[in-house]
């Protein structure tokens, strides 16, 4: 009898000569004027949750998978907000990231809707910290990409293409 094994996951990323390309999907989770942000333990900045797409995986499915893994929740992926070409430096490496930023809806019974709570999830050997931030106070937070500090206050009505460079070394 033949045993089937799950196919290997192939994330869409490429490294060469101290640079890296990522294809990333991102979730904009809003609740009561707050947005859910996360960071890796040890980092001094926040970003929106999400992750890399796999080869042959549609973006909305990839985002639902990533948020299922990170938040332990079945989210509803709604509409695409931003298509972002993001250029930045992190951990000594130059990044070129193509990001699809979707508005997502958490389930109404999600256990971490308390805005005063910081919660964590372990992803492999990394610990992710999650926290809700008031959208109107993001300009005072260390958030990357930095266009989100103002962009979150006025979500676009239709898809917006953003070409963004962060010159601030993240770590």
pLDDT tens digits, one per residue of 47-75: 999 999 999 999 999 999 999 999 999 99
Q: What is the mean pLDDT of residues 79-92?
A: 96
User: Looking at 7-11, 40-44, 54-58, 106-110, which range is the least confident one?
Assistant: 7-11
Q: How confident is the model at residue 4 (pLDDT cuts 50, 70, 90)?
A: low
Domain ranges of the chain: 13-106+113-165
Q: What is the mean pLDDT of residues 36-52?
A: 96
**In this structure, what DSSP letter does residue 92 have?**
T
Tell me the pTM.
0.92
Residue 122 vs residue 28, higher pLDDT: 28
Q: What is the mean pLDDT of residues 85-109?
A: 96
Angle at 7 between CA 74 and CA 105, to 5 degrees: 15
Determine the pLDDT at residue 5: 56
- Which residues, other chains included, contact 78 with Cβ-Cβ below 8 Å and sequence gap of 6+? 102, 103, 104, 105
Domain 13-106+113-165 has CATH 3.20.20.140: no
Mean pLDDT estimate for the chain: 93
């Amino acid at each position: 009898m033949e045993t089937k094994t799950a196919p290997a996951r192939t994330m869409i990323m490429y490294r060469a000569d101290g640079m890296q390309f990522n294809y990333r999907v991102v979730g904009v989770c809003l609740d009561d004027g707050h947005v859910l942000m996360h960071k890796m333990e040890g980092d001094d900045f926040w970003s929106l949750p999400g992750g890399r797409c796999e080869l042959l995986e549609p973006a909305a499915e990839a985002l639902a998978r990533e948020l299922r893994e990170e938040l332990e929740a079945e989210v509803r992926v709604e509409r695409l907000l931003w298509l972002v070409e993001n250029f930045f430096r992190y951990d000594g490496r130059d990044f070129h990231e193509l990001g699809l930023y979707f508005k997502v809806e958490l389930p109404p019974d999600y256990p971490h809707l308390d805005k005063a709570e910081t919660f964590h999830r372990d992803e492999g050997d990394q610990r992710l910290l999650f926290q809700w931030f008031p959208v109107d106070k993001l300009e005072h937070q260390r958030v990357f990409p930095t266009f989100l500090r103002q962009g979150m206050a006025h979500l676009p009505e239709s898809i917006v293409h953003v070409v963004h460079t962060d010159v601030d070394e993240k770590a």
